[in-house]
Structure 1
Amino acid sequence: MTSIRLDWPYSNVARLTIDNPARRNAITLTMWQTLVRNCGELAVAPARAVILRGVGAAAFSTGADISEFQAFRSDPDAVVAYNRAISSAMDAVRDLPIPVIAQLAGLCVGGGLALAAMADLRVADDTCRFGIPAGKLGIAYRPDWINRIADLIGPAPVAELLLTATMVSAGDAFRWGLVNRLCLPDQLESETERLAVQMGALAPLTHRATKAALAARAGHETRAVAEHLAAACDDSQDYLRGTEAFRNGTKPIFEGN
Structure 2
Amino acid sequence: MSEIQLAREPGGVVVVTLNRPERRNCLTLALWRRLAELYRSFADDPEVRCVILTGAGGQFCAGADISEFSTVRATPEQAEAYAEAVDEANDAMLKLPQPTIAAIAGYCVGGGCGLAVANDFRIAESNAIFSVPAARLGIVYGVKETRNLLNVVGLTNAKRILFAAERLPAGQAQEMGLVDELVEIDALASARELAGRLARNAPLSIAGAKAILGQLSDGTKDLDQAVIEAVERRAMESEDYRKAVQAFVEKRQPHFQGR
Alignment correspondent of 1:96: 96
Give the 5 Å matches for 1:17-28: 17-28=17-28
Structure 2 distance, partners of 1:19, 1:48, is: 23
Alignment correspondent of 2:132: 132
Under a length normalisation based on structure 2, what TM-score does the superposition of the two structures give?
A: 0.94
Alignment correspondent of 1:77: 77
Structure 1 residue runs without a partner (length 5+):
none
Which amino acid in the other structure matches residue 254 of structure 2? P
Alignment correspondent of 2:224: 222
What percentage of aligned pairs have identical amino acids? 35
Contact 2:54-2:188 at 8 Å conserved across structures? no
Alignment correspondent of 1:51: 52
Q: Does residue 142 of structure 1 match 2:137?
A: no
Change (3 A) 1:224 1:218: farther
Structure 1 distance, partners of 2:105, 2:224, is: 34
Q: How much does 1:125 deviate?
A: 1.0
CA deviation string 1:189-240 (max 9, x = no partner)? 2211011111111100001101100111123873431232023222221111
Contact 2:87-2:144 at 8 Å conserved across structures? no
Bigger mean CA deviation after superposition, 231-240 or 80-89: 231-240
Contact 2:61-2:109 at 8 Å conserved across structures? yes
Structure 2 distance, partners of 1:189, 1:111, is: 20
Which amino acid in the other structure matches residue 60 of structure 2? F
Contact 1:14-1:50 at 8 Å conserved across structures? yes
Alignment correspondent of 1:249: 251
Which amino acid in the other structure matches residue 83 of structure 1? A
Which amino acid in the other structure matches residue 248 of structure 2? F
CA deviation string 1:6-65 (max 9, x = no partner)? 2212241111111111111101111111111111221122100000111121x2101111
Q: How much does 1:2 deviate?
A: 6.0
Q: Which runs of 4+ in 1 moved over 2 A?
A: 218-224
Give the 5 Å matches for 1:66-215: 66-186=66-186, 188-215=187-214
Alignment correspondent of 1:37: 37
3-state SS of 2:189 partner: helix
Which amino acid in the other structure matches residue 51 of structure 2? V
Q: How much does 1:242 deviate?
A: 1.3
Which amino acid in the other structure matches residue 25 of structure 2? N
Q: How much does 1:147 deviate?
A: 1.3
Contact 1:216-1:223 at 8 Å conserved across structures? no
Q: How much does 1:246 deviate?
A: 1.7
Structure 2 distance, partners of 1:222, 1:53, is: 33
CA deviation string 1:104-143 (max 9, x = no partner)? 1111111100110000111111221111101111111112
Structure 2 distance, partners of 1:171, 1:241, is: 43
Contact 1:125-1:182 at 8 Å conserved across structures? yes
- Count of aligned residue pairs for this structure pair: 255
Q: How much does 1:171 deviate?
A: 1.2
Structure 1 distance, partners of 2:40, 2:146, is: 24
Structure 2 residue runs without a partner (length 5+):
none
Cα RMSD of the aligned pairs, angstroms, is 1.5
Structure 2 distance, partners of 1:66, 1:2, is: 20
Contact 1:101-1:119 at 8 Å conserved across structures? yes
Structure 1 distance, partners of 2:163, 2:54, is: 27
3-state SS of 1:124 partner: strand
Contact 2:99-2:120 at 8 Å conserved across structures? yes
Contact 2:99-2:198 at 8 Å conserved across structures? yes
